Chain A
Amino acid sequence: MKTIRILLSCILTGAILIFGIKPALAFCGFYVAKADSSLYNQASQVIIARDEQRTVLTMSNDYQGEVKDFAMVVPVPVVLKEEQVHIGESKILERLDGFSAPRLVEYFDEDPCQPQYMMEDRARQSVALPQSAPMAKKAEAELGVTIEEQFSVGEYDILILSAKESDGLETWLIQNDYKIPQGAKELLQPYIKQNLKFFVAKVNLEEFDTNGFEKLRPISIAFESPKFMLPIRLGMMNANGDQDLLVYLLSPKGKVELTNYRTVKMPSDRDIPQFIKEDFKDFYTAMFQKTYEEENKQVAFLEYAWDMGSCDPCSAEPLNQEELKQAGVFWLDSNNFNNRWGGSNVFITRLHVRYSRDKFPEDLKFQSTSDRNLFQGRYVIRHPYEGEFSCKAGKEYKKSVLDRQESEAKILANLTGWKLKDIRDRINFVEAEPIQWWENLWN
């Protein structure tokens, strides 16, 4: 009887935990509009290079609106001085993206009638890579807002603010023409209470025009803090629905994982039909969406975990020391590029987080581990041999190709949720004659 009571109370507690508390309404971005404009940041990219408590954080997003309207507010753990802020080049994000992106590899079958002398791996390198789409009035003192630092770096005018009350900060931002989404106050409050500062940047149009920049360059900040986290809640203020975030984590130790959400590997090393060569982007997007839904939309996906000194197969050349420095890797000097295990001193983890307000209530918290197991999103297409067959083994080979094509179709349907019939229609099945049972008897 007692057991039943305990079980019942457990189930009841569970039910209250799950259903009793309704999530608050959705919000949105890292980035805040300075005026009304269609500014939805659907894909942000962030590089975090971290060793011990030292961090270099590089932020970039695919900001689509008018440059004059751009502004961003990011909670930061410490007051940053001018020297701690650096404007980098978007190219470094493209390089990291290209190096770590999920890859398609292709293999060509050998002629089954020719003896094979060596097991040469004829893997050709990837064709398509889904590259991610690349802030007088009341006085400050009265509002409890302090401008801790004020400076310009590159095309940005930067302010480091500290605030006592979220009301004051909100008023200050509004008075200074930053268009704050409604409800921002509630979201700013917890950061103020945790004694975080606010990194506020807008574009200096004069500087931007003089230098002829085409798009906004990423901002890097360097600081020392025991907090290894990324604030995403503010980021949910100016976007609709789900947002994609790619985080490239660089560590001297090994893989980085989330501590308050699960980190799940993307399905990898699957054989898929040949036609995906032309549709790799669609394939990956569909597979990502399906896997994301299957995991109940509340996990971070691991897309790549690799030593920066090598790649196999390479979707792009590994980054050289200069590029790694641009990415924020500060612990390198020419003497210690290689570590004692023979690998390089930099390990990259690529996490893909698709988040929405209801499934990701907390900011992302990370930890670096010493896990140096390699992982990559790798998908394989195998081209059948297309020449003439001069032997009997050719017939058996054709049958095996037919079976393989059938299994590839099923794998693809399973990964993407596409209809098996549609997939079959697009596959160029080989014509295989049936092998009669007596054929192998009197060879």
Chain B
Amino acid sequence: MLLKDARITQIIFLGLFLLLGVSTRDWTIQSNLILVVMSSCLITQWILSSVVEYSKLREEDSFTNLSSKLNILITPKVLTSLRSALITSLGLCLLLRSNNPQTMAIAGCFAISSKFLFRHHNKHFFNPANFGIIAALTLTNDAWVSPGQWGTDWWYILLFLGLGGVVLKQVGRWDTSIAFLLSYGGLEAARNFWLGWSWDVWQHQFMSGSLLLFALFMLTDPRSIPNSIKGRWIWSMAIAFSTFILQHYFYLSTAIFWSLFIVSPMTMLLDMVWNAPRFNWKAVQWTIDN
């Protein structure tokens, strides 16, 4: 069943969030920009995964004619990889803001390209959407993210927690979100206690829809985060710690995205220390089927 692929579930949920954001939270993102992001992600993914398949086949030297070359473009492997690209593009639409199509296209292309460029032992270590956001923030001067865009309504918080739980159950990466939320919440609580703010300040910070969406849907990309549970705990705590520092000592409103970007390369190191089987979308599907 199609829904057994966690990517499809994720696409449905992210699509729903985008629809809710545009219709109820008066976001500024225009439909043409959504199209630009989607097409730039999908096209980049299609071309690059075809190139990868092509180079594999050439090594095996098992084809000769033009039609078999062209057949690469429609192999199931290339086509199913488009699902991940769609998730990345939805992530970008939810988080990145710009009024310039070129900026959105740059974000899409960089996001997907990062998966093919930054690899270690055949595994990419940057979260593609996050890489796209950082690329747009640094390479252009007309991109921004709006941390306040979801507000702190309980209705959205429960929706994110509920749907996030479903996806995390499917991919088995709930530990990452829990580790992040516990350590980040803990650090904020300690600061709050030290400053002497009342607890509703902490509550208000913690109920930010943007923070939860990040923790449940971006931090948990099973393909780019460490394979072992221990590795993921350390990795999440490192992100929580650097978010806390960047936010309160460098006053960066984009702290969470910068933290994930800075800590991502640690994945390689953590995978070397703690060995665990790599995540595979198909493996998950197989487990569920059986």
Contacts and interface: CB of A to CB of B under 8 A. Distances in A.
Interface residues of A, number: 45
A14 B154 contact: yes
A193 B200 contact: no
Contact of A261 (B28, B148, B165): B148
A370 B251 contact: no
A10 interface: yes
Nearest to A166: B196
A372 B197 contact: no
Contacts of A372: 99
Interface string A1-43: 0110011001101100110011110000000000000000000
Contact of A190 (B197, B205, B253): B197
A246 to B, nearest CB: 19
A6 B164 CA distance: 10
B200 A23 contact: yes
Contacts of B144: 367, 369-371
B30 to A, nearest CB: 10
Contacts of A227: 251
A299 interface: yes
Given A226-B251, A367-B144, A373-B28, A260 B97 contact: no
Contacts of A260: 147-148, 204-205, 208
B87 interface: no
Nearest to B151: A262
A296 interface: yes
B198 A23 contact: yes
A228 interface: yes
Given A6-B165, A7-B162, A11-B158, A21 B147 contact: no
B34 interface: no
Contacts of B149: 262
A17 B253 contact: no
A264 B148 CA distance: 10
Contact of B253 (A367, A370, A371): A367
Interface of A: 2-3, 6-7, 10-11, 13-14, 17-18, 21-24, 166, 186, 189-190, 193-194, 226-228, 257-265, 296, 298-299, 358, 361-362, 365, 367, 369-373
30 contacts: A2-B169, A6-B165, A6-B168, A7-B165, A7-B166, A11-B162, A14-B157, A17-B206, A18-B207, A21-B199, A24-B200, A166-B196, A189-B195, A189-B196, A194-B195, A227-B251, A257-B146, A260-B148, A260-B204, A260-B208, A264-B26, A298-B151, A361-B200, A361-B204, A362-B201, A362-B205, A367-B144, A370-B144, A371-B99, A373-B28
Given A14-B158, A193-B195, 16 more contacts: A10-B158, A10-B161, A11-B162, A14-B161, A24-B198, A166-B196, A189-B196, A190-B196, A193-B196, A194-B195, A226-B251, A257-B148, A260-B204, A261-B148, A361-B203, A371-B28
